[in-house]
A and B are shown apart, each in its own frame.
Chain A
């Protein structure tokens, strides 16, 4: 998935990857995975088709009103998703002044012109984790969510959560 997003971000049709060998996925999904002979030698390499999502919706700790975003915890592939997607919507724990970005530009993981919209949404990653704001999963809420998925009641669950009734 990461390599598919990399190819999408770079605007190229596919990406040769390390790994994937031996996974049944390669044989099962030929529309996404192909094995190719290296143009430089006899080695074979697995290639993954590019992925360009229509939207990436990402939650960050800090963003300014232009969409410059700081990821203060581990970044996983969030910065990459922002680069592969056609449009990016940010939710943020808080809106901060642009001076925060200028103080430490290295922490701005997502430059503003990639971003379509910013929504101030404290607690937006709950019932999951957003380091260092809230550090543990809210398991009760998670169980309620699982139940809601099974019962096809996700909108009701979301309404309850947004109203603070969970």
Chain B
């Protein structure tokens, strides 16, 4: 079957969402994955954006930002970011979120702030500018803290999958174990990292992410080679089922501009 890595990543992410859930998606591929789920198997998924756009579906393909008319043309409510991020997400009411990551570590901490390339952002008590400045957390920090669970999407490359992120923009399980409870976060933490090669899930006790399933075109070796820590592999590691024709059709109806088709 003809599909791209990004398409299977979006479909595998969409499969994590259930009908009737209250959901928030970050800008970009997260939105395509989320609205694919709504079109495919979760018609009563209630979705909103961090800008306070409620009840809409993308019209005309991937929105380039949360204020794009493509994600507000058929909305039932416009309120504001305080409503979306403070009232619904950070307060702990939202069932599920999807965010992207530029850099991610074995405890699911996400860095979208900057790349310090092995140096620390704090030297001699001062903040040091990063080598590469990224776009910041946006609403992803609230999603990471408040959603009952959330899913992280990331391109599976060694430079992105680090033993420890340079900077925590959106916390996963911090240093593992019960760290989230220690900080008092209302949300449960990342339930999966869906990559361009497979699916990682957190160990129930240590919270270190392990390989749970790999895509049909990938392998355990390829994934281990592209991960910056010594990735543990589930004894029951599975192959992710290929997209069905129905799934691909529904995904491509959401992604009409083909942003996931680029190889």
For A10, list chain B residues within 8 Å (CB): 86-87, 90-91
B77 touches A108 (CB 8 A): yes
For A9, list chain B residues within 8 Å (CB): 86-87, 91
* Given the contacts A108-B54, A111-B55, A113-B46, A11 and B92 also touching, CB distance less than 8 Å: yes
Contact of B79 among A11, A101, A111, A112 (CB under 8 A): A111
Assembly CA distance A102 to B59 (angstroms): 14
Assembly CA distance A98 to B72 (angstroms): 15
Contact of A68 among B74, B76, B91 (CB under 8 A): B76
Confirm or deny: A105 has a beta carbon within 8 angstroms of a beta carbon on chain B.
yes
For B90, list chain A residues within 8 Å (CB): 10-11
For A101, list chain B residues within 8 Å (CB): 55, 76-77
B76 touches A83 (CB 8 A): no
A105 touches B91 (CB 8 A): no
B residues near A (Cβ < 8 Å) are 22, 46, 48, 53-55, 72, 74-79, 83, 86-87, 90-93, 146, 186
Confirm or deny: A165 has a beta carbon within 8 angstroms of a beta carbon on chain B.
no
* Given the contacts A11-B92, A11-B186, A68-B55, A111 and B87 also touching, CB distance less than 8 Å: no
8 A-B residue pairs with CB within 8 Å: A9-B87, A10-B90, A10-B91, A11-B93, A68-B76, A105-B53, A108-B77, A111-B55
Kindly provide the distance from the CB of A54 to the nearest chain B CB, expressed in whole angstroms: 15
Assembly CA distance A139 to B44 (angstroms): 45
Assembly CA distance A139 to B53 (angstroms): 41
Kindly provide the distance from the CB of A52 to the nearest chain B CB, expressed in whole angstroms: 10
Interface centre among B48, B74, B76, B186 (most CB of A within 10 A): B76
For A66, list chain B residues within 8 Å (CB): 76
Contact of B83 among A12, A83, A106, A112 (CB under 8 A): A83
Assembly CA distance A66 to B77 (angstroms): 12
For A68, list chain B residues within 8 Å (CB): 55, 76-77
B74 touches A111 (CB 8 A): no
B48 touches A111 (CB 8 A): yes
A112 touches B76 (CB 8 A): yes
Interface centre among A68, A98, A113 (most CB of B within 10 A): A113
B75 touches A105 (CB 8 A): yes
For A12, list chain B residues within 8 Å (CB): 91
B77 closest partner in A (C-beta) = A108
For A102, list chain B residues within 8 Å (CB): 74-76
A112 touches B55 (CB 8 A): yes
Assembly CA distance A111 to B54 (angstroms): 7
Assembly CA distance A10 to B90 (angstroms): 7
Interface centre among A64, A68, A83, A111 (most CB of B within 10 A): A111
A82 closest partner in B (C-beta) = B87
Assembly CA distance A102 to B76 (angstroms): 5
For A112, list chain B residues within 8 Å (CB): 46, 55, 76
Residues of A40-79 whose CB lies within 8 A of B: 64, 66, 68
A102-116 interface code vs B (CB 8 A; 1 in, 0 out): 100110111111000
* Given the contacts A105-B72, A108-B54, A111-B55, A11 and B91 also touching, CB distance less than 8 Å: yes
B91 touches A111 (CB 8 A): no
A79 closest partner in B (C-beta) = B79
A113 touches B22 (CB 8 A): yes
Kindly provide the distance from the CB of A42 to the nearest chain B CB, expressed in whole angstroms: 24
Assembly CA distance A10 to B81 (angstroms): 12
For A106, list chain B residues within 8 Å (CB): 78
Assembly CA distance A98 to B93 (angstroms): 24
Q: Apart from A9-B87, A11-B93, A106-B78, what 17 extra A-B contacts exist at CB < 8 Å?
A: A10-B91, A11-B90, A11-B92, A12-B91, A68-B77, A101-B55, A101-B76, A101-B77, A102-B74, A105-B54, A105-B77, A109-B77, A111-B55, A111-B76, A111-B77, A113-B22, A113-B46
